[in-house]
Amino acid sequence: MSDTTIIAERVHEFVLAGFAAGAGEERLAAAPDVEWQKIRAAGTALWLDTGDLDEASKLWCAEFSGLTTNNTLLNQEVQKGLYDNLVGRAAAALREAMPTVDERTLVLEVAFVLNAWHGLRLVQRFGAHVSVEVHTDLADDLERSVAYGKRYHAICPEKFYVKVPLTPTGLLAARKLAAAGVPINLTLGFSARQNYAAALLTQAAYVNVFMGRLNAFVADHGLGDGANAGEKATLATQRELIALRQAGRTHSRLIGASMRAGGQVGALAGLDVLTMPVKVAAQYREQPQDRVASPVETDPEVIWAPGMEGGDCNADTLWAVPNAFKQSVAALLKQDVDTLRGEDLQAHFDNTGFGDFLPCWSEEAIAVIREDGKIPSYTRWHERLASRQIGLDALMNISGLQSFVQDQQALDDRIRSLL
């Protein structure tokens, strides 16, 4: 038996046995709510975007069916000190199973324990589906992304969705996991074209548009009033997915993510899924929309600042899915995709005229992006955006990933401090 198998089996045993021994939560009684029923009647599943059990409990009702967590949200819970004792016990169990385990592996495995354990707490408290996310160190590691995705699924196959980032390698990992029966939540999507390709390539259960970050990019840099860029990308994505589902080409469903205001809930009723931060859900419930109607067939206008056009930041990459791009995806699917690597996907789109879709990022560029945070600097990237070397969707994607990397590092540092 390999060292990897020994550790994986010990972690699985530790999580399930320990949780069953009394670490779980009492199931919350969920009453129906007439205002949330209106959103559900529009065809929208309602999730909460939080890992905070107490805050989620204040809003939870019968119409809610899922919770999403990520590296950032889990880190917030871990930094409260809630799991310090668990870290020590998990590390001890791993060292007992494999005395020679190195620190990097130990941290990765303890982080897995924390994610799985917290996910189980959410499942037990709310009876909900819960999205748990692979470690950011695995974003470019195909084999280990697949292995850890299968391990998460094995912990709670009835309720866990496995979050994989939309990276070149992540797309291939999601494809392999979905083919193995693992329900995938493909995260860090920002555009209709990203999700068109992802739905066909991976057959993920869910794809995302992080709409709030798109609006923030426009507003923070004075490119416009910050309204509707995210909504336009989200609604365009929903229409593309509906067409693909009607044609029998995918079953992928859309999550409207990164919501920032309660008004977006009623305005976007009709999307497949809305995942709402607690603050957003509370705002909507305090001021619900009287009449709820699906806006999916609408195309909201984005107002740019004087002298500014969407082409200056390659914004049409957020909502346009041209026929040439669809043909590029079709050509990719004719290849033996399961033999490809992430760099092969990048080369394919580059060779078919869409090098801005999955661009290669240098180490220097990633360092700059990480310094900027989850909303990238328009000034730094204006020339490359305007010349269509990179898509705005691609820039937002790598910025989002690097912000998650930083939060994952903070979580990992907490683990190291307790070993």
pLDDT tens, residue by residue, 326-337: 999 999 999 999
Task: Kindly indicate the confidence band of residue 21, based on its pLDDT and cuts at 50, 70 and 90.
Answer: low
Taking 90 as the threshold, does the pLDDT of residue 279 lie above it? yes
CA-CA distance, 46 to 276, in Å (whole number)?
8
Taking 80 as the threshold, does the pLDDT of residue 74 lie above it? yes
The pLDDT of 329-355, averaged and rounded, is: 98
The pLDDT of 216-223, averaged and rounded, is: 96
Taking 80 as the threshold, does the pLDDT of residue 284 lie above it? yes
Instruction: Give pLDDT tens digits for 180-198.
Output: 999 999 999 999 999 999 9
What total number of domains does the chain contain? 1
Taking 80 as the threshold, does the pLDDT of residue 224 lie above it? yes
Read off the CATH number of the domain in which 45 is found. Answer: 3.20.20.70
pTM of the model: 0.96
Taking 60 as the threshold, does the pLDDT of residue 23 lie above it? no
The residue ranking higher by pLDDT, 1 or 379, is: 379
| pLDDT for the residue numbered 18 | 80
Q: By mean pLDDT, which of 19-28, 248-257, 306-315 is the weakest? A: 19-28
Domain encompassing residue 147: 3-418
Q: Give the residues across from 273 on adjacent strands.
A: 45, 255
Taking 60 as the threshold, does the pLDDT of residue 237 lie above it? yes
Q: What are phi and psi of 186, to 5 degrees?
A: -85, 110
Taking 90 as the threshold, does the pLDDT of residue 2 lie above it? no
Q: Is 150 a catalytic residue?
A: no
What percent of the chain shows pLDDT beyond 70?
99
Q: Rounded mean pLDDT of the chain?
A: 95
CA-CA distance, 232 to 230, in Å (whole number)?
5
Taking 80 as the threshold, does the pLDDT of residue 24 lie above it? no
Q: Which of 38, 163, 176, 232 is catalytic?
A: 163
Parallel, antiparallel or unpaired: strands 253-257 and 273-276: parallel
